[in-house]
């Protein structure tokens, strides 16, 4: 897969460092990352535990800023935005899927999917309709009014995937999305993410240490000790 088949870069890291202070000692988590991800790509960020994947994901998700270097989202330097602008950007442009699902257990599947739309001020009829539509797309048409506690891990992760698409973001960012699932269910979730990438034409970024599930991705960015390798 060559970059010229894709749109412009949606994510650009230019010599990104992230240094944490621990007991007066500087601990670099990222040591000069440089890479681009183009609009519409299906990319894995892979590497062993402690290689900087999570830090990298937090920066892409605008949950953290580089200590040094530049992170551009859609051509905008994220470090120049206010907290308010960041929160708005995050809610609109990025859909998150987490390892631990992060669902609200007292909300039905539909209410969980509606939540990001509430924050964006979408009216209730529209929210409801879209949530039901998305749950059908992820194969949960029969689980719309079920609570997470009444579902299997795989079903919960499907709800989380539907929720990530709620505001029709440009980017879906999945952090170890199969980490809490058995390998068969994990493969189903990966297939679902790949299918959604193909049908919705989104930029899908999957952070994982599991190379078995990374096989279906177009491109891998490999990290080791906070640097891109290979």
Segment 151-187, tens digit of pLDDT:
999 999 999 999 999 999 999 999 999 988 998 999 9
Distance separating alpha carbons of residues 119 and 97, to the nearest angstrom: 17
86 or 148, which is more confident? 148
Over residues 65-111, the pLDDT tens digits come to 999 999 999 998 999 999 888 888 888 899 999 888 899 999 999 99
Over residues 113-135, the pLDDT tens digits come to 999 999 889 999 999 999 999 99
* pLDDT-based confidence at residue 1 (cuts at 50, 70, 90): very low
* pLDDT-based confidence at residue 4 (cuts at 50, 70, 90): very low
Q: Which pLDDT does position 2 carry in this prediction?
A: 45
Question: What is the rounded end-to-end Cα distance, in angstroms, of the chain?
Answer: 17
φ, ψ dihedrals at 130, nearest 5°: -65, -40
Q: What percent of the chain has pLDDT over 90?
A: 72
| Kind plus residue range of the DSSP H or E element containing 133 | helix 124-137
Q: Which pLDDT does position 5 carry in this prediction?
A: 60
Over residues 198-226, the pLDDT tens digits come to 998 899 999 988 877 777 898 999 999 99
How far are the Cα atoms of 50, 79, 130, 203, 205 from residue 39, in angstroms, in the given order?
27, 21, 24, 6, 11
Query: What torsion, rounded to 10 degrees, do the Cα atoms 220, 222, 227, 230 define?
Result: -90
- Show the DSSP H helices in 39-94 as ranges: 53-60, 83-93
Task: For residue 96, count other CB atoms closer than 10 A to its CB.
Answer: 19
Q: Which pLDDT does position 108 carry in this prediction?
A: 97
Mean pLDDT value of segment 185-190: 92
* Domain boundaries, given as residue ranges, for the chain: 41-57+84-229
Q: Which pLDDT does position 117 carry in this prediction?
A: 94
| Fold assignment, 41-57+84-229 | Rossmann fold (3.40.50)
């Amino acid at each position: 897969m060559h970059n010229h088949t894709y749109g412009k870069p949606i994510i650009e890291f230019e010599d990104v460092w992230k240094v944490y202070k621990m007991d007066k000692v500087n601990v670099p988590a990222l040591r000069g990352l440089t890479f681009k991800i183009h609009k519409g790509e299906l990319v894995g960020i892979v590497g062993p535990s402690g290689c900087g994947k999570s830090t990298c994901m937090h920066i892409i998700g605008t949950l953290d800023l580089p200590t040094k270097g530049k992170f551009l989202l859609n051509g905008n330097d994220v470090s120049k935005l206010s907290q308010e602008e960041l929160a708005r950007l995050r809610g609109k442009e990025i859909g998150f899927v987490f390892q631990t699902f992060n669902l609200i257990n007292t909300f039905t599947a539909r209410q969980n999917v509606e939540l990001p739309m509430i924050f964006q001020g979408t009216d209730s009829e529209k929210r409801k309709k879209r949530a039901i539509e998305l749950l059908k797309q992820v194969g949960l048409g029969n689980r719309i009014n079920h609570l997470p506690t009444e579902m299997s891990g795989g079903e919960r992760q499907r709800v989380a995937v539907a929720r990530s698409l709620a505001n029709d973001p440009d980017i879906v960012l999945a952090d170890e999305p199969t980490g809490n699932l058995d390998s068969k269910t994990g493969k189903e979730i990966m297939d679902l993410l790949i299918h959604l990438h193909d049908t919705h034409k989104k930029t899908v970024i999957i952070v994982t240490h599991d190379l078995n599930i990374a096989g279906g991705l177009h491109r891998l960015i490999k990290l080791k000790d906070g640097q891109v390798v290979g």
